[in-house]
């Protein structure tokens, strides 16, 4: 959790990367959905429910498949998003 919040704050203050490529729509959706999971987790006393965990897991798999196609600023932006999603997954799984 200690790494999640600072990364999330950096991500929120970052602008959308230039030259995302042909998968921009899908990447935008993944950014929105993973971000929504982070916000829900941070604001909810219960954390993520099973449905949201399934969605997060699916988004991370989709993002992993798209990362090799990205370069430069877009690659850094979505690698950070992938790390945020992974940290969220780990934080949720560590909850009692």
Contacts of 62 by beta carbon, 8 Å cutoff, 6+ apart:
26, 30
Q: Quick one: CA dihedral 29, 65, 53, 94, positive or negative?
A: negative
In a domain, 81, yes or no: yes
Please report whether residue 10 resides in a domain.
Answer: no
User: pLDDT at position 1, please?
Assistant: 64
Q: What is the pTM of this model?
A: 0.92
Q: Which has more pLDDT, 65 or 95? A: 65
pLDDT in tens, 18-48: 989 999 999 999 999 999 999 999 998 888 9
Is residue 76 in a domain? yes
Number of structural domains the chain divides into: 1
Q: Does residue 18 lie in a domain region?
A: no
Q: Quick one: which of 14, 20, 18, 8 has its CA closest to 66? A: 20
Domain that holds residue 85: 29-96
Structure confidence by residue, pLDDT tens digits, 48-88: 999 999 999 999 999 999 999 999 999 999 999 999 999 99
């Amino acid at each position: 959790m200690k790494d999640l919040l600072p990364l999330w704050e950096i991500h929120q203050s970052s602008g959308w990367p230039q030259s995302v490529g042909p998968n921009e729509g899908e990447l935008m959706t993944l950014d929105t959905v993973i971000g929504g999971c982070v916000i829900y987790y941070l604001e909810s006393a219960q954390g993520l429910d099973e449905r949201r965990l399934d969605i997060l897991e699916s988004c991370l798999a989709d993002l992993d498949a798209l990362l090799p196609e990205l370069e430069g600023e877009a690659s850094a932006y979505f690698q950070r998003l992938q790390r945020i999603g992974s940290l969220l997954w780990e934080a949720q799984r560590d909850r009692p």
